[in-house]
Amino acid sequence: MQQTQCWEPRQLAALSAVCALVLLLIFTSITEKWSEPIDTSHDDALFKQRPPEWPRDVPCKPTFMIIGAPKCGTTSLFEYLASHPRIVRPTEKELCFFSFWKRQRVLDTPGKLPTKSWEQYMHAVQGGVKRSIACDGLLSFEACPFYFNDRRAEAYLATTFPALKAIVLLRHPTDRAISAWHDRNPFGRMRVPGSSRVHIEPALRRMLELAQSGNRSVEHRDTRVLTVGLYYYGLERWGHARNASTLLVLRTEDMWTNGSASRPQMAKVTRFLALPGPVSARALLKRHNAAAGHTWMQEQPSRALRRDLDCFFATPNRRLYEWLRKRGQRFVKWRSTCRGIAVPDAPSMHASDAALEGSESAKGLAQFSRPGGRA
């Protein structure tokens, strides 16, 4: 009878050490890329030419898009709307054809062709099936949370789809930043220059220092976890040519009650899109891409760090509230622990324009910055 060979404890320990070293090397090679700013010298062909046109003989031209923000509930809203009988479900949520960030840094891999080919993007928006020229009487859309803070995406979309409606979900920026850190860190994709550890406290504090240094923009990788939450800059850009009938801003905290979607909030969405009938109640019971049940594994920041994050976002939040008030939109203010503390000025995040100067995409982009601006 053949006996099963067992591993000695020392052999197991050596094997574990080798596996740990290999994983460390893999994670290190990945995390180093996330500490770099966006390199605009590698603009691909899309951003070196005029925005593409949707041919008249191609059905299902998108009528609306969920444009952001990341980690604010866009996956759930996508699933709810995709379940509506009068909406075409695209082949995947984040096609992100117009997002420079997503195309160049995240989806530039085989198997993600809708983001690299205009023809395949149009096919993907139709749900991957052949439809009538009237799109079978349905509305088509996509959801790309990276459009919100991408000035090139806004400019190109405004030219290609001038009548496009946009939906934005905004979450408490401190909660959003912490959620984004947790989303990236487990996969070893997060490392901040000057911080030798990937624990949440030193990492986010280092990001705060960099974001307040005056040398970062919303498009820098190593502070993006924070700067995505500077919603005022994205809304100001998206709202310059859109009113309340074409831009809907929602608070993430208002979208869910006891784990299921708020019917009044979803009714607001269906009215905005002029959809016949509501989203099914069954579809609203599930919350998608949430960390529920796993939060006990996540490292939480200290109260002091939460306070400092709240202070970092305080001035941009006030600008956001004022911008929405002037547009006549009611928006409940988020809680803040930044009381009795000198609040820093809002960081100058429009440096992203300067960062783009000299790149191929910047040359001639101004002519597409408004609907009807095509040369």
Annotated binding site for 3'-phosphoadenylyl sulfate: 171, 179
Q: How far apart, in Å, are the Cα atoms of 251 and each of 38, 52, 291, 334? A: 29, 32, 19, 9
Cα dihedral 97, 103, 107, 109, rounded to 10, equals 110
368 token code pair = 């597409």
How close are the terminal C-alpha atoms of the chain, in Å?
Answer: 83
- Residue 208, H or E segment: helix 200-211
Which residue numbers belong to the known binding site? 171, 179
d(CA 338, CA 311): 5
Cα gap 282→179, rounded to integer Å? 27
User: What amino acid positions are annotated as catalytic residues?
Assistant: 71
The answer to whether the beta carbons of residues 332 and 321 sit under 8 Å apart is no
Q: What is the C-alpha to C-alpha distance for residues 180 and 364, in angstroms, rounded to an integer?
A: 34
Within 8 A by CB and 6+ apart from 252, the residues are: 72, 73, 169, 170, 171, 172
Rounded Cα distance between 75 and 53, Å, is 27
CA-only gyration radius of the chain, Å: 22
Q: Give the integer Cα–Cα distance in Å for 314 and 317.
A: 5
Give the residue carrying structure tokens 């960081």. Answer: 347
Please give the Cα distance from 289 to 215 (Å, whole number): 33
